[in-house]
Every structure is written in structure tokens, then in C-alpha cells.
A and B are shown apart, each in its own frame.
Chain A
């Protein structure tokens, strides 16, 4: 018998696809966290600016 059976490399395939989706998921999560933090910072800064203006009046 010269033909060899196809090796079972399914575990590697699963690892590859899992890694892709996990990495992309982490990046999307990081984008949303950073956006939320920046929005909060901006709100705080705008509030401080408004307070400062009110004091000056």
C-alpha cells in the first residue's frame, strides 16, 4: 500500500480559526473601550469648561 492516509490536523485548524476570531474580538473590544473612555473624558472637560465660563460671568 503506497498511499498514506490523510493526517488528522483538525486541532491545528481549530486553533488557527479560534486565534483569528479571539484576536479580532479583543481588538474590537479595545476600540469600544477606548472610545467610551475618550467620550467620558470629553464630557468631563466640556463640563469643566462650562463651569469655568460660568465662574467668569
Chain B
């Protein structure tokens, strides 16, 4: 693997700094919500991780499309990196939601339409990571991955829109006039600033981890080629 580029080193530092500031804003700067108490502070990371996860799943689908057009394996690495990092962030989103739900809804989990579609999306992409392992031929694996992420990517807009289209107990905090009525809350200026900063912070962290994962993919390919050469 070539030595780490300066931009990536800078991004590593920026990620750490962004997470420290975001945590400070969420835990100290943002005011306490009166109905839910401190558990509401989970919201900032819940939305931040959900945003980057969904972004990553869409990027993976785009990577799949570009692979199908160009047949260049670097887009397969791009797609795999996006799915792996996004699956991590989406798992955190779901767990944070469950932790928030316990004191607010009095249950860790319910088969509500939003929770169900989110769980399906996560399982679809975990299955992608597992199924890839079973395919030896890189071309076949890339083709399978491209089609799979393209179809799997459809679950992202469905998960996003479902709370706006169906009756659900999951609050629509952003852009809903009845947020409080659905177990959500109205945000004051400091809450909005914290929320927006968390979105930026998680975007920086996502780009950083994604870049590291792409580099790891390139190294994996190099080892695979070397093994192939050794076996001939």
C-alpha cells in the first residue's frame, strides 16, 4: 500500500476534531429537552449516522451503475467500501434508536413501518457483504455486487420516505409541524446548530473511513493478483 497521502492524514485529524466538537455540542452546548431529558441528546448522533449511512448506500448503488458501464474493478472496490462503512453507521443508527426508544416509547423495539424498513435495509447490505465472500471470480463478484447494490439501494428512499407516507410512531422531527405530537420535539437555535454540526462531523468521518476502506480494497486486490501470479 502506498504511504498515506497528506490529505488523508489531514482528514484523520479533522475527523477526530469534528467528533470531539460534535460530542461537546451535543452533551454540553445543546439544552436539555424537558420531556425526554438527556436521552434526547442521542438524536444528534442518530440522525448524523443515519445521514451518512444512507448517503453511502446510494454511493454504493452509483458505484454499481458505473461498474456495469465501465467494467473497471476500481468501482467494485468503491462500492464495497461504501457498503461496509454505511452498514456500520446504519447499525449504530438502529441501536441508538432502540436506546432512545426505551425511555420514550417504553420499548426497545417495535415492528413499526420505519423500524422494519430500516432493519430490512441493514440486513440487505449485511447479506451483500456475506454473499460476496462466496464468489471467487473477481469479475463475477463485481457484477453480482453491482446488481445487488443497485436493487438494495432502492430500500434507502423507501426507508427515508416511509414516515412521511404512512402512519408511524417514529417522529418526523425535521420538516414536520407536528413533531411533538409524534414523540418528537421542536428544536431551538442551539439544538439546530448542534444538529447541523453533527451532520457535518459524521460526513467528515464517513469520507475518512471510506477512503481508508478503498485503500484497503486496493491492497486486497494487489494480494489477490500476487497470489494468482504465484499459483501460475
Tell me which residues across on chain A come within 8 A of B100, comparing CB atoms: 12, 16
Q: Which residues of B contact A38 (CB under 8 A)?
A: 1, 216, 219-220, 223
Task: Provide the residues of chain A in CB contact with B27, threshold 8 Å.
Answer: 13, 17
Residue interface mask B181-214, A partner, CB < 8 A = 1: 0000000000000000000000001000100110
For chain A residues 1-57, which have a beta carbon within 8 Å of chain B? Answer: 6-10, 12-13, 15-17, 19-20, 23-24, 27-28, 31, 34-35, 38-39, 41-42, 45-46, 48-49
Question: Contacting chain A: which of B29-37, B120-128, B157-165?
Answer: B29-37
> Which residues of chain A have C-beta atoms less than 8 A from B75's C-beta?
none
What residue in chain A is nearest B42 (Cβ atoms)? A16
Q: Is the CB of A16 within 8 A of B227?
A: no
Residue of A nearest to B26 (CB): A17
User: Which residues does chain B contribute within 8 Å of A34, judged by CB atoms?
Assistant: 216
A45 engages B226 (CB within 8 Å): yes
- A35 and B23 in contact, given A9-B37, A19-B96, A20-B49 (Cβ under 8 angstroms): no
> What DSSP secondary structure best describes chain A's contact surface?
helix
Q: List 27 A-B contacts (CB under 8 A).
A: A6-B32, A6-B37, A7-B103, A9-B36, A9-B39, A10-B37, A10-B38, A12-B42, A12-B100, A16-B41, A16-B46, A17-B26, A19-B92, A20-B45, A20-B49, A20-B96, A23-B88, A23-B95, A27-B88, A27-B209, A31-B209, A38-B1, A38-B216, A41-B223, A42-B226, A45-B230, A48-B230
Q: Is B99 an interface residue (CB 8 A)?
A: yes
The distance from the CB of B190 to the nearest CB of chain A, in whole angstroms, is 17
Q: Are the CB atoms of B223 and A12 closer together than 8 Å?
A: no
Q: Is the CB of A49 within 8 A of B23?
A: no
Inter-chain contacts of B99 with A (CB < 8 A): 12, 15-16, 19
Instruction: Establish whether residues B216 and A16, one from each chain, have CB atoms under 8 Å apart when the complex forms.
Output: no
Q: Is the CB of B219 within 8 A of A13?
A: no
Is B222 a contact of A9 with CB atoms below 8 Å? no
Provide the bound-state CA to CA distance between A17 and B27, in Å: 10
